[in-house]
Amino acid sequence: MLVSAKEMLTKAKAGKYAVGQFNINNLEWTKAILLTAQEQNSPVILGVSEGAGKYMCGYKTVADMVKAMIDELGITVPVALHLDHGSYEGAKKCIAAGFSSVMFDGSHYPIEENIEKTKELVGICNELGLSLEAEVGSIGGEEDGVVGAGECADPNECKMIADLGVTMLAAGIGNIHGKYPENWAGLSFDTLDAIQQLTGDMPLVLHGGTGIPADMIQKAISLGVSKINVNTECQLSFAEATRKYIEEGKDLQGKGFDPRKLLAPGFEAIKATVKEKMELFGSVGKA
């Protein structure tokens, strides 16, 4: 069932585990993630970037597809449909289209403007029973053309945003979107600890979950991270499985060119990646 992310993340924070946000790109992606969540009896968050929303013919198409799929597949675990790194306008569009959760990424604005815009969205989301994620301190790497340097958020600024009444808070702690470089310094647990001390029960969000070593993920969860975003890793496993199918010439055998056959290995690869992450994050059986 489609729900806001509030209850699942409150439970995750209290239970010391994290719920995965897996970004979707098309029907196969969405189906693979929903089926895996149901099989693992895990809550799940489907992430949609503004670019992916555009690619999938708009937020209404996405919301209607997700709702129909939940119904058609008999998905009973809690599912949140969440805008990832939304602009102020994008957040409003997703709310109108029927998303159950939005992120407003105002991290590139001066803190006063981030606060002002976040505050307005808190009011709208509270009224409609939607969850809202805010961000402080930009997260490294590139996402939809926005490049961040991977800075560490100011814990006091985190508290200012948390106090506005957002549902969950993303804070830069040295994490990066996409693949991590060889010389990556690792997560700043001192920063994370300081943020958690000031923000208390607020579920914290770790972006850029691809390639962070398992021990760092577990330590981050122990310090209050309750939502972990995974995007690149599903893309890599999908691409690898699809490449293998074609390199083995399977698309040339019989009706191997049928998209339902051609996309099947990638679909199974996404399922395996999502299952592995749910096990690592501790969300299996928590629906």
DSSP conformation letters of 166-222: -SEEEE-BS-BSSSPPTT-----HHHHHHHHHHHTTPPEEE---TT--HHHHHHHHH
84 is catalytic: yes
Q: How many residues bind Zn ion (CB under 5 A)?
A: 1
What is the 3-state composition of the chain as percent helix, strand, coil, each rounded to the nearest 5? 50, 20, 30
Q: x/- site string to Zn ion, residues 223 to 252, per CB under 5 A?
A: ------------------------------
Nearest to 79 by CA among 41, 118, 112, 105: 41
Choosing from 71, 84, 201, 258, which is the catalytic residue? 84
Chain-centroid distance of CA 15 in Å reads: 19
Task: Round to whole Å and give the CA distance between 80 and 95.
Answer: 13
The values of phi and psi at residue 262, to 5°, are -60, -35
Task: State in angstroms the smallest separation of the CB of 139 from Zn ion.
Answer: 5
Q: Which is nearer to Zn ion, 115 or 230 (CB)?
A: 230
Task: State in angstroms the smallest separation of the CB of 144 from Zn ion.
Answer: 10
Q: Which is nearer to Zn ion, 13 or 85 (CB)?
A: 85
Task: State in angstroms the smallest separation of the CB of 103 from Zn ion.
Answer: 8
Residue 11 is a binding residue for Zn ion (CB under 5 A): no
Q: Is the dihedral of CA 138, 107, 223, 205 positive or negative?
A: negative
Which 176-215 positions form the footprint of Zn ion (CB under 5 A)?
207
Task: State in angstroms the smallest separation of the CB of 127 from Zn ion.
Answer: 26
Q: Which is nearer to Zn ion, 33 or 70 (CB)?
A: 33
Residue nearest to Zn ion (CB): 207
Q: Which is nearer to Zn ion, 62 or 287 (CB)?
A: 62
Longest Cα–Cα distance of the chain, Å, equals 62
Calculate helix-pair angle for 155-162, 111-128, nearest 10 degrees: 30
User: Which residues are designated catalytic?
Assistant: 84
Residues that bind Zn ion (CB under 5 A): 207
